[in-house]
Structure 1
Amino acid sequence: MNREIVLSQQSSLKKRTNISFISTVIVLTFVYLQVNPLTILTAFPDFLLFFIQNFFPADFSNLASYLPLILETILFAIVGTYFSAFLAFFFGLLMSEKTNPIAWLRIISRFMMSFLRNIPVLVWASLLVYVFGIGNMVGLIALIIATLGFLARSYAETMNEIAGSKLEALQASGASYLQVLFHGLIPEFIPAWLNWTLFSFEINIRASAILGMVGAGGIGIMIQTNIRLFNYHQALALIIVLVALVLLTEFGVNKLRRWLV
């Protein structure tokens, strides 16, 4: 009984120490960045008043003319996710210890995907503008590059988690690499592949709109244009449409996930 009390006290002390440490880090962060939390709180009512006075009511009068841009945003996400998922599967095979015994090849593949993954999609879009100019090509390639790095890492980790006993049994029975792949790995990998790919599609809907704000097409470019021209009422209408699109995507993807997996 005494031992349980001591352990409970030690656990409580550890929790208090962790909370104190985190609180200290947060305070030091605000100090280093020279950001006053009180200023944020006091400025919020002014921002809210500005938003209400200038953005409301939303102007949906030109919504029909924006439908092609909304379609572009959806198509960006679909095509970007499709190509990324296709390429990421092969990079996942190269990155996984279960499917690639060559260490140096795994290291190179992981470095490449880590490089792609850790550069924000907006940075990719800004760099690609110098090559392709402003347009849909920039948004699509930037989306594929950023999603490829994320999915390849997710796929590789999933492949590593798949039990190796079935793969080893197939290898011991003399099965070829492709037979091990198609009869051992892929059947167990498909549910995780669907989950990660559908999750990326949800993210890419949002990312497609953000890419539009740097001239890469889609609904984002019209939001940015309306804000720059002080057409706040139309900008709010497009923001509402974007939020609705994201929510509908999440709802549809969740339904699809439950149906497929």
Structure 2
Amino acid sequence: MQVDIFLKKKLHNLSFILLLGTAVLGAIILTEYDVAKGFSSVPAAIQWALSNFYPDSESMEKFPDIFEKLVETVLISVAATTSGAALALLFAIAGSSTTQFNRFLGQVSRTIATVFRNIDMAVWSMILLFSFGQSAFTGYFALFFGSFGFLTRAFIESIDEVGDSSVEALRATGAGYFSIIFQSVIPSSISQMISWILFMIETNIRSATLIGILTGTGIGFAFSMYYKSLDYNAASLVVLVIVAAIFIIEWVSNYVRRVIL
């Protein structure tokens, strides 16, 4: 019996590898990609990067402007995440099986969150460009919608993990709906929710860099401007600043998680 299970698992793995290999080969043929040329161009690309893509003294003079754009990007990301989290909490309470006060409204809440979650932030940026043009509002709302959809789903799972036992215990004592929410559900799941919010802030800062290229704002636009003007030294400084900011924010986020969890 164990041998049959092992063979079945081995056949499944082999089938997956063959299917993946076929898909890769088909993509290479359809796109007419030259694999040998791709690998042979790697040394030349590395040599070009080492020769051109590094900060120099002239690019360092632009650091204050780059840092200002970075601060703008971080603030927009934090604002979009926190405001999206506030709305997500309301929808999560309405959509969770533990706290929903109406089955129909619960399904509507989960459906709305699913729609917002499955539309990529870059797509939201392109949609919102028609309404707000290239502005900070476009980037903010793109991050807000994406954060709202993701955090609603994450908060629903966090609330459901609390379980029905504590909720039923409070109901048995005659506690009202809002008392159950504020005295049991939220206190029991708040640490997990904060962890999700911190994770979303990290993700949004990374996404905001790409969205800024579309919306013409923030650190992403600074990179696009320098790169298109062939100022590779300044563009490399932007990349280094982004990488340093991401590492610092991740360190702060991990520290907060260790404190609250």
Q: TM-score normalised to the size of structure 2? A: 0.91
The structure-2 alpha-carbon separation of the partners of 1:114 and 1:40, relative to structure 1 and needing over 3 Å to count, comes to: farther
Q: Structure 1 stretches of 5 or more lacking a match?
A: 1-5
- Determine which of 4, 7, 14 is the counterpart of 1:13: 7
In the TM superposition, residue 50 of structure 1 has moved relative to its aligned partner by 2.8
In the TM superposition, residue 216 of structure 1 has moved relative to its aligned partner by 4.3
Aligned-partner residue type, residue 157 of structure 1 = E
Give the 4+ runs in structure 1 shifted more than 6 A: none
Contact 1:167 1:180 in 2 (8 A): yes
Secondary structure at the counterpart of residue 134 of structure 1:
coil
Establish whether residue 87 from structure 1 lines up as the match of residue 100 from structure 2: no
Aligned-partner residue type, residue 81 of structure 1 = T
- Determine which of 43, 50, 54 is the counterpart of 1:56: 54
Contact 2:55 2:234 in 1 (8 A): no
In the TM superposition, residue 248 of structure 1 has moved relative to its aligned partner by 0.4
Counterpart of 2:248 in structure 1 is 248
Contact 1:80 1:141 in 2 (8 A): yes
Contact 1:137 1:216 in 2 (8 A): no
In the TM superposition, residue 53 of structure 1 has moved relative to its aligned partner by 2.8
List aligned pairs for 1:61-72, cutoff 5 A.
61-72=61-72
Q: TM-score normalised to the size of structure 1? A: 0.91
Contact 2:209 2:219 in 1 (8 A): yes
Q: Distance in 1 between matches of 2:189 and 2:66?
A: 39
Counterpart of 1:28 in structure 2 is 22
Q: Distance in 2 between matches of 1:40 and 1:21?
A: 28
Contact 2:98 2:163 in 1 (8 A): no
Q: Distance in 1 between matches of 2:188 and 2:9?
A: 39
Q: Distance in 1 between matches of 2:242 and 2:230?
A: 19
In the TM superposition, residue 101 of structure 1 has moved relative to its aligned partner by 4.4
Counterpart of 1:110 in structure 2 is 110
Counterpart of 1:3 in structure 2 is none
Q: Distance in 1 between matches of 2:216 and 2:95?
A: 31
Contact 2:155 2:193 in 1 (8 A): yes
Secondary structure at the counterpart of residue 56 of structure 1:
coil
Contact 1:139 1:212 in 2 (8 A): yes
Aligned-partner residue type, residue 30 of structure 1 = V
List aligned pairs for 1:183-202, cutoff 5 A.
183-202=183-202
Counterpart of 2:181 in structure 1 is 181
In the TM superposition, residue 39 of structure 1 has moved relative to its aligned partner by 4.7
In the TM superposition, residue 129 of structure 1 has moved relative to its aligned partner by 1.2
List aligned pairs for 1:138-153, cutoff 5 A.
138-153=138-153
Q: Structure 2 stretches of 5 or more lacking a match?
A: none
Deviations 1:42-85 (A, max 9, x none): 33233223322331355323112222111101101110111011
Contact 1:125 1:216 in 2 (8 A): no
Q: Distance in 2 between matches of 1:96 and 1:31?
A: 44
Which deviates further from its counterpart, 50-59 or 142-151? 50-59
Q: Distance in 1 between matches of 2:37 and 2:22?
A: 17
Deviations 1:104-145 (A, max 9, x none): 212211111111111111111111111111111111111000
Contact 1:85 1:148 in 2 (8 A): yes
In the TM superposition, residue 87 of structure 1 has moved relative to its aligned partner by 0.6
Secondary structure at the counterpart of residue 134 of structure 2:
coil
State the percentage of identical aligned residues: 27
Establish whether residue 124 from structure 1 lines up as the match of residue 124 from structure 2: yes
Secondary structure at the counterpart of residue 213 of structure 1:
helix
The structure-2 alpha-carbon separation of the partners of 1:216 and 1:170, relative to structure 1 and needing over 3 Å to count, comes to: farther
